[in-house]
Amino acid sequence: MLNEKIETILVAQVEKEAYSSMLYLAMASWAEVNGLEGISKWLYAQSDEERMHMLKFVAYINERGGKAVIPALRQPPVDYGTVKDAFKEVLKHENFITQSINEIVYACAEVKDFTTQNFVQWFVNEQIEEERNVRNILDKLNLLGDGGMYLFDRDIMSMRAAAAAADAGGAGA
Ligand code: OFO
């Protein structure tokens, strides 16, 4: 049975993962209408991953005898400025999520809920990967400057595939 405080913090995380999915969906649509096909594909895929994260929390809460509450939708922004601005926003959001995951780990330790702490460990590792991938994208954007956007848009999905292959060959998460 879930501790009440842990259930509350996990339900709050469902909302944060749902918003992550909505945010990247909004960014994907913004990129798509601005002719950035590769970047929009990357963001649509990221939005799907965030929905998967949300579902993991929903399943875990219910499996442990809690009640996952599905939150109302919150509208993300419509415009994101430049591509670099958009990815800076992605990194900022992922930093926020990492902080939130760390707070869950801390709360679990406080009430000695090592089962949930173990479950959340997957997200600790996932955040390391996600932050690294977005920092790599920002590094590339800084190197390219505005003139290289066509090539960047063409190649961003192969960066995603390479990162996924590297992760699969690592810890097997
Ligand atoms: Fe971006 O990892 Fe979930 O939120």
Structural domains of the chain, with CATH? 4-160 (1.20.1260.10)
pLDDT of residue 77: 98
> Higher model confidence: residue 169 or residue 138?
138
pLDDT digits (tens, 9 = 90+) for 14-25: 999 999 999 999
Of all residues in the chain, what percent are helix, strand and coil, respectively (each to 5)? 80, 0, 20
What is the distance in A from the centroid of ligand 1 to the CA of 15?
A: 11
Work out the mean pLDDT of the chain and round it to a whole number: 94
pLDDT of residue 166: 83
What is the distance in A from the centroid of ligand 1 to the CA of 97?
A: 6
Q: Tell me, what amino acid is at 92?
A: K
Entry pTM:
0.91
Residue 119: alpha-carbon gap to chain centroid = 17
Assess whether the C-beta atom of 113 lies below 6 angstroms from ligand 1: no
